[in-house]
Amino acid sequence: MQFSDVVTIYVVLVATLSAAAADVAPVAESIRVEATRSNLDANGRPLPLACSWHCGHFRDPACAGWRPAHQMRLIEQGHYLLPWFSHPPREDDVSSSPDDFRTEYYRESIQRARRLRLPITFIASQWESGLSDEPYASCPAEENPNVVTVDGEILKKVSPFGPVEPWREIGAAHTDNPWMRKLQQWYPDPPLVIFVSNNEHHKLRWYEVESSRRYLEKYGKGKPDGFKRRVVAEGWITRYRALQEGMRAGIHNPAWKKNARFIGYNAFGPEFIGRWGGWIQYSLHSPGRIDPSPLMWDGGSPSYYTHDWNSSRDDTVWSPQVQFMNLVFMKREALRLNPQFWFEFSVWDGYHTDPVRQKKFPSTRSVYRKEGQQYNPERYAGFVQFGMWLLRPRAVRDFRGWTEPWEDQVDKNGKVVHEGGGPYFMALVESVDRVHVHPILRQWWRQGRLVPNRAHKHPYQAAIPEQWNKEDRWFLLDTDVNPQKYPWTLNQRISVFALALVQGNRPDRQWLVYAHSPHGDRSGVRITIPDHRQITVDVSRAGSFYLVDERTQRVTPGVPRHSSFNPLVSSPAS
């Protein structure tokens, strides 16, 4: 090869890379702008971003599709992702991942994120769980952050009445360590750094407070339930904010320190309000505040899950779609308490491959399939989009088990033994992309007003506190294919989930109607728009959008319909 050939190849390569960088720049800029946009922006709501809990942080190559390197490739292909990494270990953590694997996992992707000026996210388990381990677990009772019983026993669950300083200490340990300092060197100026906690460590419940020595010493026995909920909530606000103060103090880089945000899984709700009388035991509501989370956290990620361990499904009254209608007024209240609260939600279809768990808690997909139903990425997309357009979150975070592969795993006979999560995640990604790339949907996401259906009450009506019993909680539109007799019971099937957004004023109103049909595509479904009229439309499993104009009476598709659902699934090796 002559020198001139080498020069030509080099020039072509540089031009190709420059073109690729130019192509990805607008997407990266949009991700950055939307991630940092204020909830109070004059242009309207920030557009959503896609992300996951699965970090691909173990060495199994089948999980490579979840790793940051593949995320960066998806962004380069034009997808609107909020990049996520596994939170690096504290200095005293024991990990099976050697430093060379960690370097490979982090360095190139974090530096790529720097070149694109992307926001980044770190996924962790429970930050406060270290408080129930040594050296804190064996501290004297007066210095112990865990529950101290009336008999002096120390339990491995944190207390809202214990000393505050250990919370700051454990917080600092998560950020003041060699790996976090190294990441700050590789990317010194991120526009946003989100730290996510799984937030499932054992805590003292409000109804257990009379088992706590500290509570009894301070307040005595026999206080009303409302008092107990209030003092427990105030205790958590103080301690979780101290933990986050410690994490921020442990950050060395000024840009990271300034741009850090701390959010918790299920740090929002309760979405199950009214489903049964016992919901109150799992709530910390008090007069003027349905939930203390906006004062405890910078953001929350409630679970839009069809759990395998209970009867929730995506096609019944006990469903994430119905439960999340409760969160509409709660989100409004959260933004009043904390205007910069980062509201996202986590979504799971109940799939798992654990053979032991399968015996007790069958995977939700397998339950549907035994009933002769099809559960595929198309159905997952329809389900996800209902939650998206109901609440318009900052991000949608897909949940997968930490060993779930990206692509299907087959045995020597070609039988699928583990379904890959990649196609389902990409169905979510496409749902997010659609909002960004379609001007009509983009404008409706920012400016549309959700339409309540006041013809019926929400089916969850057990023990609703008087302060909130007049809030709009029902947004499902009436259709001719759903049960016609009210009130509905928890196990009743819902054939079509439909909602509407509205803009303008009479007689020039316009509506965006979204509907999805979990069991399969349906033709000629009659949907009633409150305070307007009935329309007849086709509804797909993957979700359908329609624009309705009051003046012209026209009903038109909101986005182009595709003949088939085939989300782009990039190979992690591509």
The pLDDT of residue 571 is above 70: no
Residue 120 domain-assigned (yes or no): yes
499 against 61, higher pLDDT: 499
Average pLDDT (36-41) is: 98
| DSSP three-state, residue 322 | helix
For residues 83, 33, 320 and 78, what is the CA-based torsion angle, rounded to 10 degrees? -60
Average pLDDT (276-291) is: 96
Q: Which of 557, 562, 569 is nearest to 541 (CA)?
A: 562
527 against 564, higher pLDDT: 527
The pLDDT of residue 38 is above 80: yes
Residue 565 domain-assigned (yes or no): no
Confidence of residue 7 (pLDDT cuts 50, 70, 90): very low
Residue 553 domain-assigned (yes or no): yes
pLDDT recorded at residue 37? 98
444 and 470 fall within a common domain:
no
The pLDDT of residue 12 is above 50: no
342 and 401 fall within a common domain:
yes
97 and 42 fall within a common domain:
yes
397 and 431 fall within a common domain:
yes
260 and 288 fall within a common domain:
yes
Residue 460 has a CB neighbour count (10 Å cut-off) of: 25
173 and 287 fall within a common domain:
yes
pLDDT recorded at residue 356? 87
Residue 157 domain-assigned (yes or no): no
| Helix locations, 438-503, DSSP H | 439-447
State how far Cα 133 lies from the chain centre: 28
- Rounded CA-CA distance 143/163 in Å is 6
Q: Which of 119, 139, 130 is nearest to 171 (CA)?
A: 130
pLDDT recorded at residue 418? 87
CB-CB contact of 87 with 126 (8 Å): no
Confidence of residue 88 (pLDDT cuts 50, 70, 90): very high
Give me the chain's average pLDDT, please: 92
For residues 207, 210, 212 and 216, what is the CA-based torsion angle, rounded to 10 degrees? 130
Reported as a single tens digit per residue, the pLDDT across 446-480 is: 999 999 999 999 999 999 999 999 999 999 999 99
CA distance readout (Å), 106 to 19, 85, 263:
25, 8, 22
Average pLDDT (57-85) is: 95
423 and 510 fall within a common domain:
no
406 and 283 fall within a common domain:
yes
Residue 573 domain-assigned (yes or no): no
Residue 141 domain-assigned (yes or no): no
Tokens of residue 53, six digits: 């809990």
The pLDDT of residue 218 is above 70: yes
Residue 147 domain-assigned (yes or no): no
Reported as a single tens digit per residue, the pLDDT across 368-407 is: 989 999 999 999 999 999 999 999 999 999 999 988 999 9
pLDDT recorded at residue 97? 57
Residue 206 has a CB neighbour count (10 Å cut-off) of: 24
The pLDDT of residue 570 is above 80: no
Q: Is 443 exposed, middle or buried (0-12, 13-18, 19+ CB in 10 A)?
A: middle
Confidence of residue 358 (pLDDT cuts 50, 70, 90): confident
Reported as a single tens digit per residue, the pLDDT across 229-258 is: 999 999 999 999 999 999 999 999 999 999
387 and 500 fall within a common domain:
no
Q: Which residue has the tokens 């329809």?
A: 382
H or E segment and range at residue 502: strand 497-503
Residue 470 domain-assigned (yes or no): yes
Q: Domain range spanning residue 521?
A: 466-557
483 and 431 fall within a common domain:
no
Average pLDDT (151-164) is: 97
20 against 490, higher pLDDT: 490
Average pLDDT (286-302) is: 97
Average pLDDT (139-165) is: 97
- Count up the domains in the chain and report the number: 2
Average pLDDT (269-279) is: 97
473 and 411 fall within a common domain:
no
422 and 522 fall within a common domain:
no
> Residue 341 maps to which CATH number?
3.20.20
Average pLDDT (180-193) is: 97
Q: Is 457 exposed, middle or buried (0-12, 13-18, 19+ CB in 10 A)?
A: middle
